[in-house]
């Protein structure tokens, strides 16, 4: 009876923990994004916090506050300024599209007419001889995207109070996560309902992928986007900062990369007679933007995260579709933990199979 009662009580406690966890997630649902980025910031800037803690021994509150101040001045404020400029340029592009100053269908037709006759013949035979449908769809897609971005910007402005509240919660949580990370991390690993070595391997993989995604892929994408924006500004392309931001998101995808942005731009410039501008874009894309990844990524985190490029692409796109900007990190982390979990299971089954074979061999020798 005692054993049965113990199992019932333990099962009831597990059910209670599951229910209260779901309840807590429901309560803080509005701030999950802010809490996620607070945790990522605390993880990424833990080295800076420890460096400050060495300079101010025993003053963890001061070190955490200084780290938070540096994050705000060096990361948050520039990001807000750039975001406001991008929204302004997006609204301007949308206005020009509605007014007819920018006509992507016309640009597309200019590129088509500038192509060699053989390529145009191939396009005609493939069913692209009449460009009205392509032009219409292209204009609609660009106009819809710009309209959606502008509407989202207005939505953010209308919900400024909610944004500021989430932002304040994120900064507040970052302070405590920085200060108490030495206790919070090991405590989470200990309380996971997993074997100790399995929990530690999953935790190490989580940390490695988060750092690789933000410190590696994120920083590299920002650098490539900045280089692209500078290149577009040099050649006189309108809304250069907007195209640079688009290049940042393209650079996060391993199978796509920033070439999907600067490549069509270079083709258009060359096809419309802007030869030196197109040559500058190609030279910058190949020699500067393209090499930034090869130079910076090994310096920051190295390349081996244990995730195939195709899974990084799929999980990043899926994460963005499901969670928005947070999916850039959550997607690859989910993929990495998936691979690591199945790898651990395979290793455990392999060890169990070896033990069974050894026991069978010992029994046969004894017989």
CA distance 40 to 330: 10
Q: What is the pLDDT of residue 173?
A: 92
| Token pair for 204 | 């190490």
| Token pair for 316 | 């990043």
SS3 45: coil
pTM above 0.85, yes or no: no
| Token pair for 64 | 């955490």
Tell me 325's DSSP state.
G
Other C-beta atoms closer than 10 Å to the C-beta of 299 total 10
Half-sphere exposure at residue 356, Cβ-oriented, CA atoms within 13 angstroms: 6
Q: What is the pLDDT of residue 325?
A: 75
Q: Please give the angle made by the CA atoms of 123, 128 and 129, to the nearest 5 degrees.
A: 90
SS3 169: helix
* 224, 289 Cβ separation under 8 angstroms: yes
CA distances from 56 to 49, 197, 225, 296 (A): 10, 34, 37, 31
Give burial (CB, 10 Å; 0-12/13-18/19+) of 84. exposed
Cα radius of gyration rounded to whole Å, the chain:
27
Q: What is the pLDDT of residue 133?
A: 54
Other C-beta atoms closer than 10 Å to the C-beta of 308 total 12
Other C-beta atoms closer than 10 Å to the C-beta of 46 total 18
CA distances from 327 to 66, 224, 333 (A): 29, 20, 9
Nearest Cα to 39, choosing from 27, 29, 31?
Answer: 31
Q: What is the pLDDT of residue 67?
A: 93
Tell me 49's DSSP state.
H
Q: What is the pLDDT of residue 268?
A: 78
What average pLDDT values come out for the chain (367 residues) when binned by 10 residues? 70 84 88 87 88 90 92 86 80 70 61 64 58 53 53 55 80 91 85 82 84 78 90 87 86 79 84 83 88 75 64 82 81 86 83 64 56
SS3 275: helix
Q: What is the pLDDT of residue 358?
A: 64
The maximal CA–CA distance of the chain, rounded, in angstroms, is 92
* 332, 319 Cβ separation under 8 angstroms: yes
* 292, 227 Cβ separation under 8 angstroms: yes
Cα-Cα end-to-end distance for the chain: 41
Other C-beta atoms closer than 10 Å to the C-beta of 248 total 20
CA distance 286 to 321: 30
CA distance 302 to 212: 8
CA distance 182 to 47: 12
* 225, 245 Cβ separation under 8 angstroms: yes
Find where tokens 């997607």 sit. Answer: 331
CA distance 362 to 367: 9
Give burial (CB, 10 Å; 0-12/13-18/19+) of 117. exposed
């Amino acid at each position: 009876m005692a054993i049965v009662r113990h199992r019932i009580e333990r099962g009831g406690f597990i059910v209670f923990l599951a229910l209260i966890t779901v309840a807590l997630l429901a309560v803080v649902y509005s701030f999950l994004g802010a809490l996620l980025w607070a945790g990522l910031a605390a993880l990424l800037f833990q080295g800076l916090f420890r460096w400050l803690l060495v300079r101010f021994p025993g003053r963890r509150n001061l070190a955490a506050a200084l780290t938070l101040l540096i994050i705000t001045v060096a990361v948050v404020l520039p990001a807000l300024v750039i975001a406001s400029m991008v929204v302004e340029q997006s609204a301007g592009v949308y206005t020009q599209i509605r007014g007819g100053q920018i006509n992507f269908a016309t640009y597309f037709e200019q590129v088509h007419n500038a192509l060699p006759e053989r390529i145009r013949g191939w396009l005609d035979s493939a069913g692209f001889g009449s460009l009205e449908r392509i032009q219409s769809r292209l204009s609609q897609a660009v106009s819809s995207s710009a309209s959606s971005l502008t509407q989202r910007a207005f939505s953010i402005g209308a919900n400024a109070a909610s944004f500021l509240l989430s932002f304040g919660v994120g900064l507040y949580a970052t302070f405590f996560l920085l200060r108490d990370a030495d206790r919070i991390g090991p405590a989470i690993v200990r309380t996971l309902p997993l074997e100790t070595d399995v929990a530690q391997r999953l935790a190490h993989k989580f940390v490695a992928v988060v750092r690789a995604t933000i410190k590696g892929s994120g920083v590299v994408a920002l650098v490539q986007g900045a280089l692209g924006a500078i290149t577009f500004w040099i050649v006189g392309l309108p809304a250069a900062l907007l195209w640079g931001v688009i290049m940042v998101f393209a650079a996060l995808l391993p199978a796509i990369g920033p070439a999907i942005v600067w490549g069509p731009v270079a083709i258009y410039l060359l096809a419309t007679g802007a030869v030196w501008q197109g040559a500058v874009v190609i030279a910058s894309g190949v020699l500067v933007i393209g090499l930034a990844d090869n130079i910076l990524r090994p310096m920051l985190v190295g390349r081996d995260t244990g995730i195939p490029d195709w899974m990084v692409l799929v999980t990043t796109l899926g994460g963005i579709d499901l969670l928005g900007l947070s999916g850039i990190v959550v997607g690859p982390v989910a993929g990495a933990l998936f691979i690591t979990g199945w790898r651990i299971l395979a290793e455990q089954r392999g060890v169990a199979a070896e033990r069974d074979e050894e026991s069978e061999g010992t029994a046969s020798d004894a017989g």
